[in-house]
Amino acid sequence: MVSRETSSVFDVRTAADVVATKLPLGDDNSDETTPLAREAEVTVRARFDARTRPTLARPEHTRVMVVANQKGGVGKTTSTVNLAAALAQLGQRVLVIDLDPQGNASTALGVEHRRGTPSTYDAVVDGTSLEEVTTRCPEVDDLWVVPATIDLAGAEIELVSVVARESRLQKAIAAHPRVGTAEEAGEERFDYVLVDCPPSLGLLTLNALVAGEEMLIPIQAEYYALEGLGMLLETVDMVKAHLNPRLVVSTILVTMYDARTRLASGVADEVREHFGDQVLKTTIPRSVRVSEAPSYGQTVMSYDPGSPGALCYLEAAREIATKGVPIR
Ligand code: ADP
Ligand code: MG
């Protein structure tokens, strides 16, 4: 496989870089008298920078990334929608496939997912084309969504008797006219397809692992964080051996990191010891703004672009894009 396609990408300055840099305060318009004033200025500048930032180079072919971890509440959905929005802000065309019957990713991206809405269920169970059930995210340009309805809950059982039941999603994605290389799919191709998995290792997650070439595992920075990962990695090995030899765990993202606790940094160290370079340098802080955004049908990227959560998701997205496709 081709490697590091986008590694030569120019030096993009993100809002996070701006915050990390000591800003040259003290000019006529700035107020350095209080920490609050300084913070406000940092936020304003970060927002301005987010709007004027140059875009990143696009990968040569659609990167299909599966966001999975059978543990619930580790930040799969939050990371899927915010990374998707951040990648779109960085000039990438992104498709999010909601594969969790709860439809939380659909909610956060502001798309309809009532029963009867054309959805992942139709594509995976009935064989409707993915293009037909793809809808535009109203909040973010260059972001598309395949919503999940509660019907998907039945798919785990309905799929059992279906032919080639593990590769339904893979076929659906591969048949999408906007998936592939620049030659196959043209300028309008998706650069990223992110699949948000349910919190289980059933047939739906299996379908995602067969469909993807990269896997992103969010790990919550808390006690027991690594528990259950063994089983997840065994499943990945099984899929690699029998169903999808291209699958690589390319990205680990530490989420809900609380810098004030020693536990969080201990967990992050342990994760890095296990996974090395696969772990993104950027960790996602625990932040109220991140958890509030979905109730407004928004990602934190549009709900509060200058907040630490948004800046860190932007930085994480930049890392993913600049690291490029992993060597196999
Ligand atoms: P999963 O999809 O793995 O079940 P979610 O993304 O739904 O996990 O996150 C679980 C809960 O934690 C949600 O209520 C979400 O709003 C919250 N959450 C996720 N990431 C953060 C964060 N960085 N800061 C604060 N709350 C978060
Ligand atoms: Mg979820």
To which CATH superfamily is domain 63-323 assigned? P-loop containing nucleotide triphosphate hydrolases (3.40.50.300)
pLDDT score recorded for residue 275? 92
pLDDT score recorded for residue 127? 95
pLDDT score recorded for residue 34? 65
List, for the chain, all residue ranges whose pLDDT scores fall below the cut of 70. Answer: 1-54, 328
End-to-end CA distance of the chain: 7
pLDDT score recorded for residue 22? 43
Pocket of ligand 1 (CB under 6 A): 72-78, 104, 199, 255-256, 284, 286-287, 290-291, 309
CA gap 225, 228 in Å, rounded: 8
CA of 102 to the centre of ligand 1 (A): 14
Locate the domains of the chain by residue range: 4-52, 63-323
pLDDT score recorded for residue 4? 40
CA of 78 to the centre of ligand 1 (A): 6
Listing from the earlier edge strand, what are the strands of the sheet with 135-136? 135-136, 143-146, 94-98, 192-196, 63-67, 214-220, 248-255
Ligand with smallest separation from the Cα of 294: 1
Contact yes or no for 152/99 (Cβ under 8 A): yes
